[in-house]
Amino acid sequence: MSVESPVPKDLSALRITRDREPRRPAGMLIFLAVLAVAVGVGIYVAASGALAVKTVETVSASIVTEGQAETLLSATGYVEADTKADLSPKITSKITALYVTEGDRVKKGQVLARLDRTDLDAQLADTKAAWVNAAAELARQRALVKAGLASTSALDASIANEASAHARVRFVQAQQDYAVIRAPFSGRVIAKRAHVGEAVSPFGSPGQGSSNGGAIVTLVDFSTLYVGADVNESNLGRLKADQPAELTLDAYPDQTYHGHLLQIIPTADRSKGTVKVKVAFEDPDDRILPDMSARVNFTAKKTTGETAAKTRVTIPKSAIAAEAGKSGVFLVSDRKAIFREIEAGAENSGQVEIRKGLQGGERLVSEPGKIALKSGDKIKVKGE
């Protein structure tokens, strides 16, 4: 009896049949890969553009006077006066009257103060009496000599005695004149250094209100005011006689005065390496006061004679750039660099005059050429 095996003879019947997945073409895979790369690059470029902020340094468009634009060299100093006097008494006495105060204008010979001369009046009366007595004795001796009753030696002694008495009278009268303080020249009182009732002397003394010896007042002739400035020795050769200059007082920075080199003091300061020069004012006014600090700009040529000097706009040469064949500058505006076309003029010491395009005060990118700046680029100012 034969038994059949349960294993089928055809093993292929045992294979499980599954649906086959369709193969994707190779071209489609390449396309998708390129697309992914392109999207990534686009995102990177967009992100880079959003973050590409360029750091810059800035300068300002300056407004300068005509003289500043033509400046050869500058110096600082103070307003001084050629004619100035601290008026002190020639005798020791007490002030009985003071007729002036700070700012008063006085004329030559005008009485400024009087001193007590009570003692001098008494001395004068005494010396006059002695003189009268000496004169009478002289007359008596002359009569006796004429009558042959006295010697000529006695007459000579009387003549000498009378002359001495007269000289003492004149001396006391001079002392009385010293009790009247007069202006030695016309000018203005810039300081009152003593007061009525105060004792003064030629040299002053501790405890006196006078801080300048025995001075009662200080008088200045304002027509002799000038600026005394120190110029470096190395720059002295750039100056010539009557060199034009513009003067600016720190008290009035918007006011420009015109002047010229008055004198080069013939001595140098060894410690500072400078030489002092005097610069005269050509258009002074009452606002110029002694000891004010001032700046002097020596110019290549004489500037306008008007009080309000012409102004110019200048910028550093490094701030000028070119875009699309045009010369201009990059203005800092709302964290962006904006190109503006300009018309440049003469250059002096690295500063360029701007004839058109700027009004002064604008904030500009300092060296746009070094960072390949373009109009519209986002920027960040260094240090801010």
Task: Write the pLDDT tens digit of every residue in 182-231.
Answer: 999 999 999 998 999 988 888 765 344 444 557 899 999 999 999 999 99
Separation of alpha carbons 44 and 31, rounded Å:
20
Cβ–Cβ under 8 Å, residues 324 and 374: no
pLDDT at 127: 94
Q: Quote the tokens at residue 298.
A: 């020596």
Of the candidate CATH numbers 1.20.58.1030, 2.40.420.20, 2.120.10.10, 3.40.50.300, the domain formed by 54-64+311-381 belongs to: 2.40.420.20
Considering the chain, what percentage of its residues have pLDDT values greater than 70?
81
Separation of alpha carbons 192 and 104, rounded Å:
10
Question: What average pLDDT does this structure show over 51-69?
Answer: 77
pLDDT at 189: 95
pLDDT at 150: 80
Report the amino acid identity of residue 89. P
Of 113 and 154, the one with more pLDDT: 113
Q: What is the DSSP string of 152-194?
A: HHHHHHHHHHHHHHHHHHHHHHHHHHHTEEE-SSSEEEEEE--
CB contact burial 21-37 (16+ within 10 A = b; e otherwise) = eeeeeeeeeeeeeeeee
Q: Quote the tokens at residue 283.
A: 């258009």
pLDDT at 325: 84
Compute the mean pLDDT over every residue in the chain, rounded to the nearest whole number.
83
- Which residues, in sequence order, are CB contacts of 24 under 8 Å at separation 6+? none
Of 28-37, 215-224, 271-280, the least confident: 28-37
On the question of pLDDT at 79 being above 90, the answer is yes
On the question of pLDDT at 162 being above 80, the answer is yes
Cβ count near 266 (within 10 Å): 7
pLDDT at 301: 83
Ranges for all domains in the chain classified under CATH 1.10.287.470: 117-178
Cβ count near 179 (within 10 Å): 21
Half-sphere exposure of 227 (CA within 13 A, CB side): 31
Of 28-42, 123-137, 357-371, the least confident: 28-42
Phi then psi dihedrals of residue 138, to 5 deg: -65, -45
pLDDT at 129: 94
pLDDT at 383: 78
Cα 155 to Cα 63, 65, 131, 163, 189, distances in angstroms: 89, 83, 16, 12, 54
Q: Does domain 71-83+226-299 have CATH number 2.40.30.170?
A: yes
**pLDDT tens across 290-339, in order?**
999 999 989 888 876 544 456 778 889 888 998 888 899 999 988 888 99
Separation of alpha carbons 344 and 69, rounded Å:
14
pLDDT at 208: 45
Question: What average pLDDT does this structure show over 141-147?
Answer: 87
On the question of pLDDT at 66 being above 70, the answer is no
Separation of alpha carbons 147 and 140, rounded Å:
11
Cβ–Cβ under 8 Å, residues 333 and 287: no
Q: CA 147 from chain center: how many Å? A: 85
Question: What average pLDDT does this structure show over 19-37?
Answer: 62
Q: Quote the tokens at residue 204.
A: 């002053």
Cβ–Cβ under 8 Å, residues 117 and 179: yes
pLDDT at 68: 63
Q: Domain 117-178 belongs to what topology?
A: Helix Hairpins (1.10.287)
pLDDT band at 249 (very low <50, low <70, confident <90, very high): very high
Q: What is the DSSP string of 53-88?
A: PEEE-EEEPEEEEHHHHTEEEEEEEEEEESSEEEE-
Ranges for all domains in the chain classified under CATH 2.40.420.20: 54-64+311-381
pLDDT at 97: 95
Nearest to 260 by CA among 249, 244, 246: 244
pLDDT band at 146 (very low <50, low <70, confident <90, very high): confident
pLDDT at 2: 47
Considering the chain, what percentage of its residues have pLDDT values greater than 90?
46
